[in-house]
Structure 1
């Protein structure tokens, strides 16, 4: 009997499955959907997942290759996660094989067994006791027996040195039949423990009302937990998770940045006496696989991770939390361009569990879903404890001289706060010493040779650095245009601001936090420990300082340049500006000390800025959503962005012009209504890393019409000769137009 035909999803950009004969000697009933197989693919061996069993194949029987090996005897993913991956591939117009590959840890993609790494433990055998005759003259063995007696379920081999034990002593005891070695998962524990390591805080009325609604719900429900900064959203998360754990369920918590992981882990481990695992790109491959398996097998009760953790299997799913749900980090910007926040909501629906989206500055998409009744709104308007919201003030810097990006009144105010024993946070979202280097004689500016962008000047080490393509070069000593020597930095970045602050406040530490200073593994934890010591200091940094940090001694937040988002080429610019301002401002006055926020601006009378300063984010969002609705922009419409790049500008133009022609034909042929094609146009940064870029925006009034066109268009595009000459991608629900 010939081997069955299996349809295999392989890690390939092609949007199709590949037919193979099943492995030799394996019957169809022993080939579960979702199991991995190793197959020949060209001159390579690839690992893919079985996506279907077929009776016939379009590939001639003589050319149908045979799978080399079946790697799993059951599906690697639970049914709900398999459905999530299928839906993700369909919605984001991506190949199923590439989608499934993105959902798996690297070692599983390489064919490693889906088995947890085992801990070795040493355990006393019956009849062993410290006065046993066999060890009367062996003090180290006697000590080992005494120590193991304190750990009836076994002592991990990794902890021997902490207890002063040696492997030689234990092996001697093993030969004498007094101890044995056992293995178990590092997350497994036989010892009964109370659920809580420390008691929960007493919730205020708003927190209790939110918890009552979350706990009372059954099945799927999505809540938008909108809480002002410092209102205790995390405490709501913790108590909702406590209820989830009491029902013997697991909780999945998504956070936007790796930098937030240590403090989040610490808070969860301090509260709960259960295994907690983390999943993010900072782990090595083995650590990621161990955490993934612990979650899949139900040994990890709480899983914390960045966006890719949304694909982590759970044995007993009970609750999904997306903290800072508005954050752009949840949107993957290359390859499979998914939004983890949206996948969290769909996964909650598939697994019939609750989903909490938390933010002080909710995304307009989530606010719109509240308006439509799809999400339930929970509001926290009061700061926890006695903390009061910070006072906002605009500082008009028109005609004022700036030094290091700061005005003299701001410097004076910072000095007052520092002398009172407080901390000051200075926010500037530009790394480096200065945004660029300019010739004072002729106006030449240092530009990247591979991008349509200016090089950023860095001082330590001295270099010009493009933050778009990563290219670097030495700082010019003379102007390449006029050979003049009057080269001067223009504008201020974190380095220049830090330098000026050091000169202004020589008696106080100035701590810079940006990607350049936080490169070491423990750098962020060390910096946070120093800040939490409470010593008066100045913190200067980028958006790494804005998210989720609790700085009880910060009483002044200074935002040096708030104007960029008001006139952004991207329609989401004002929304991001407002979110950034509110999030940064939320670091001030979080404890008993009152907080103050100073916003330096050239546009103090701008209505959007006035809404933020004089009212709140809700008023700002209301005004902006009304403008979006009038303009027919998301979330009141649906978009996809077709991007193309090539070494030759003519190639991108030819490809996108062909895409427009194909799309127009499909719209007419299938009578698809309510769509508009905008472009093709050059990307806002036309040349990046030496390649030319252009894009086509597809705007639709109905989501179904957009996807109908995309399903038809992409099939035809893949067959076009121009498609092989350019690198192209489709981005459904793009969050960044650049």
Structure 2
């Protein structure tokens, strides 16, 4: 009797046993179709003996219906799925689902119909047809994609097909990608870069697991050094994965990559069309894909010959997923490299304290690039004490910062103003009755966005038009914006410097790779004088003419209950400061603050990273916080507040009493209402010796909850709202 156990994508059911029909070739990792009740489901055959579950009698087993035409998941990937599920207290099914993230890719080879201009003209020209023909010159895509490109309806385009103006073209969905070449354009590396690159290339040649912390100041050329390791992977026909924290960074990276290797890498992120995801997934699984550049989800793709993993800007918190499987891609990347027995490179100018500690203990090999490439110097940094040099009434830029902006404009140099707050103002209220606009779904104020004339919640996405009068008292022209966002700062710059060309750079304005590429092109062409941006502009961008960075409110990140606030503030401000003076001209950074003596601000002003990290390390050691202790969180939520409170209290009532685990709560979460769900939290602080995951599993496993209650676990949390 040939039987197998499958992971199916229903965490509530767990693994299920099936019979393998005679003559069907099924082994561990095979992706199969199996019956479940009246439905057909996708499952993954797992290794014998590795999944718990009751043994079903042979006579009751239903047969597998078929094997899908994709390569079996490799043992290394199956071990990664198991480790991720175990470490982050998630189900195997929810982790495995991330591997099979393109349903279309599982159906095997296929063709599709695209359309392009034939060169003919319609019998009758209309304004919309004329618009479409002009917009589609040189384009070939599906009907829906052409409609997006041209801005006309699919009905208009189908009329052009009937007239012979657009002609159909049958294309292979799995058509090959252009090949990158290791030696297309050899770079001119500095001596420091050459030494670091040589070590990375040697690790590629030696083979085996080798984790590196590539610690280089901003502008030191970290990318060029790890490009040499990618070149070595190409020479050996091995695949490379490069993880980036933001899709807005991909366009600039793709251009640098193409200049070095003669072809663009394969891109993977949430904005891809389904046909692009299918093509990329199958190329990765077959081994045809050479280099993949992607967001954190690219980490779980089924690479056939993975040889190198790079995590760029490895300190970024966007590598931590805050819903579903709450994993940290930085840490999972190192574990994947360990299972695959390949090098992993964590690159950053401001590494996470955990990564520095791993290097200090000898687990990671630290490679240092201490100076900028090409003789460029690090910027000069000063603080502006807002209690002594306050802005004018109704303004947010201190006079000294305003003067420096004028000076840069006169010298035809660029400036960057950083404020990590989207929109125009974080709070809008009525000056007549005091009414505040609050999100109906979250414990958050609605943020005014004047560019779109909307009030928006940045947590759930709720939006409403900005009203003409107060909805509470009905008074017209009484709404007041409180506090600054980037749009308000941009308005201030336009008011005091009307001749300046100002660009707002946030996830609202650069919400696609194409818009990010257009912004970069304008900045590099000198068509922007002042950039006003959020954390999006703190990383990855290289503008040689940018010589001034102004941090509008350095204290903002130190507010609230973030247990990593000091480290995060240091990283953000140091990264944005690193945008200044990257070319031949020296750079200057002005940090506006009301607390210039705060340890993190003083360290930034002094340029003394080591002193800050040493002080932060001692504070963490004293508190038993990561990397010297472990954090975990249990989040309880329900659409019914009493139900959520009752469930949280039940969890708290049977908390384990352990000497090496401290449990705080339950208490209402700082964001007590999020997306229509009431939330309670428990925070665990454990010693390194504690088996934190087992403690949580045993604790929660003894309880059951009503259907409306969700209980989620966050190991190594980064968000404390």
Correspondence for 1:432: 423
User: Cα deviation per residue 1:318-341 (whole Å; 9 max; x = unaligned)?
Assistant: 211100001111111111111111
Instruction: Check conservation: 1:119, 1:186, Cα contact below 8 A.
Output: no
CA pair 94-235 structure 1, distance change in 2 beyond 3 A: same
Correspondence for 1:632: 624
Measured in 2, the distance between the counterparts of 1:708 and 1:357 equals 29
Correspondence for 2:162: none
Q: CA deviation at 1:65?
A: 5.9
Match of residue 557, structure 2, among 554, 557, 565: 565
Q: CA deviation at 1:371?
A: 1.9
Instruction: Check conservation: 1:390, 1:585, Cα contact below 8 A.
Output: yes
Q: CA deviation at 1:730?
A: 0.9
Secondary structure at the aligned position of 2:720 is classed as coil
Match of residue 652, structure 1, among 639, 644, 650: 644
Measured in 1, the distance between the counterparts of 2:300 and 2:267 equals 13
Secondary structure at the aligned position of 2:375 is classed as coil
Q: CA deviation at 1:75?
A: 5.2
Q: CA deviation at 1:94?
A: 1.2
Q: Any gaps of 5 or more consecutive residues in structure 1?
A: 121-156, 160-180
Q: CA deviation at 1:257?
A: 0.8
Secondary structure at the aligned position of 1:522 is classed as helix
Instruction: Check conservation: 2:249, 2:516, Cα contact below 8 A.
Output: no
Match of residue 76, structure 1, among 72, 78, 85: 72
User: Cα deviation per residue 1:26-73 (whole Å; 9 max; x = unaligned)?
Assistant: 55xx22111122233355432121225589984765994625522237
Q: CA deviation at 1:734?
A: 1.1
Measured in 2, the distance between the counterparts of 1:184 and 1:220 equals 35
Measured in 2, the distance between the counterparts of 1:689 and 1:65 equals 42
| Root mean square deviation, CA, Å | 2.9
1:205 and 2:191 are equivalent in the alignment: yes
1:728 and 2:711 are equivalent in the alignment: yes
User: Cα deviation per residue 1:235-282 (whole Å; 9 max; x = unaligned)?
Assistant: 111112222322332221111111111111111121114672111111
1:48 and 2:43 are equivalent in the alignment: yes
1:586 and 2:578 are equivalent in the alignment: yes
Correspondence for 1:169: none
Secondary structure at the aligned position of 1:318 is classed as strand
Matches within 5 A, 1:141-180: none
CA pair 231-99 structure 1, distance change in 2 beyond 3 A: same
Instruction: Check conservation: 2:248, 2:510, Cα contact below 8 A.
Output: no
Q: CA deviation at 1:475?
A: 2.7
Correspondence for 1:542: 534
CA pair 661-21 structure 1, distance change in 2 beyond 3 A: farther
Calculate the TM-score normalised by the size of structure 1: 0.84
Measured in 2, the distance between the counterparts of 1:235 and 1:521 equals 22
Match of residue 696, structure 1, among 679, 682, 701: 682
Correspondence for 1:391: 380
Instruction: Check conservation: 1:187, 1:275, Cα contact below 8 A.
Output: no
1:32 and 2:27 are equivalent in the alignment: yes
Correspondence for 2:303: 314
Match of residue 328, structure 2, among 339, 358, 364: 339
CA pair 116-53 structure 1, distance change in 2 beyond 3 A: farther
Instruction: Check conservation: 2:460, 2:675, Cα contact below 8 A.
Output: yes
Measured in 1, the distance between the counterparts of 2:648 and 2:463 equals 32
Q: CA deviation at 1:598?
A: 0.9
Correspondence for 1:172: none
User: Cα deviation per residue 1:61-91 (whole Å; 9 max; x = unaligned)?
Assistant: 5994625522237752122111111111111
Measured in 2, the distance between the counterparts of 1:615 and 1:56 equals 54
Correspondence for 2:461: 470
Measured in 2, the distance between the counterparts of 1:444 and 1:79 equals 59
1:447 and 2:438 are equivalent in the alignment: yes
Measured in 1, the distance between the counterparts of 2:172 and 2:391 equals 69
Measured in 2, the distance between the counterparts of 1:183 and 1:651 equals 53
Instruction: Check conservation: 2:33, 2:68, Cα contact below 8 A.
Output: no
Match of residue 231, structure 1, among 186, 202, 220: 220
User: Cα deviation per residue 1:673-731 (whole Å; 9 max; x = unaligned)?
Assistant: 511211111111111223210011122103552122133234333xx1x2533022111
Correspondence for 2:117: none
Calculate the TM-score normalised by the size of structure 2: 0.86
Instruction: Check conservation: 2:110, 2:172, Cα contact below 8 A.
Output: no
1:265 and 2:257 are equivalent in the alignment: no
CA pair 529-16 structure 1, distance change in 2 beyond 3 A: same
Correspondence for 2:544: 552
Instruction: Check conservation: 1:93, 1:730, Cα contact below 8 A.
Output: yes
Correspondence for 2:355: 366
CA pair 21-532 structure 1, distance change in 2 beyond 3 A: same
Correspondence for 1:11: 9
Match of residue 299, structure 1, among 288, 301, 311: 288
Secondary structure at the aligned position of 2:548 is classed as strand
Q: CA deviation at 1:505?
A: 1.8
CA pair 518-536 structure 1, distance change in 2 beyond 3 A: closer
Instruction: Check conservation: 2:640, 2:677, Cα contact below 8 A.
Output: yes
Correspondence for 1:290: 279
Measured in 1, the distance between the counterparts of 2:341 and 2:471 equals 64
CA pair 184-605 structure 1, distance change in 2 beyond 3 A: closer
Instruction: Check conservation: 2:662, 2:686, Cα contact below 8 A.
Output: yes
CA pair 62-15 structure 1, distance change in 2 beyond 3 A: closer
Correspondence for 2:83: 87
Match of residue 499, structure 1, among 478, 491, 497: 491
Measured in 2, the distance between the counterparts of 1:730 and 1:44 equals 31
Secondary structure at the aligned position of 2:626 is classed as coil
Q: CA deviation at 1:514?
A: 1.5
Secondary structure at the aligned position of 1:231 is classed as coil
Secondary structure at the aligned position of 2:400 is classed as helix
Instruction: Check conservation: 2:248, 2:513, Cα contact below 8 A.
Output: no
User: Cα deviation per residue 1:190-226 (whole Å; 9 max; x = unaligned)?
Assistant: x9x963222222x223222222322333321111111
Measured in 1, the distance between the counterparts of 2:530 and 2:171 equals 52
User: Cα deviation per residue 1:162-194 (whole Å; 9 max; x = unaligned)?
Assistant: xxxxxxxxxxxxxxxxxxx998963367x9x96
Secondary structure at the aligned position of 2:669 is classed as strand
Instruction: Check conservation: 2:201, 2:229, Cα contact below 8 A.
Output: yes
Q: Any gaps of 5 or more consecutive residues in structure 2?
A: 115-138, 142-169
Secondary structure at the aligned position of 1:724 is classed as coil
Secondary structure at the aligned position of 2:678 is classed as strand
CA pair 602-296 structure 1, distance change in 2 beyond 3 A: same
1:737 and 2:720 are equivalent in the alignment: yes
Q: CA deviation at 1:227?
A: 0.7
Measured in 1, the distance between the counterparts of 2:573 and 2:226 equals 24
Larger radius of gyration: 1
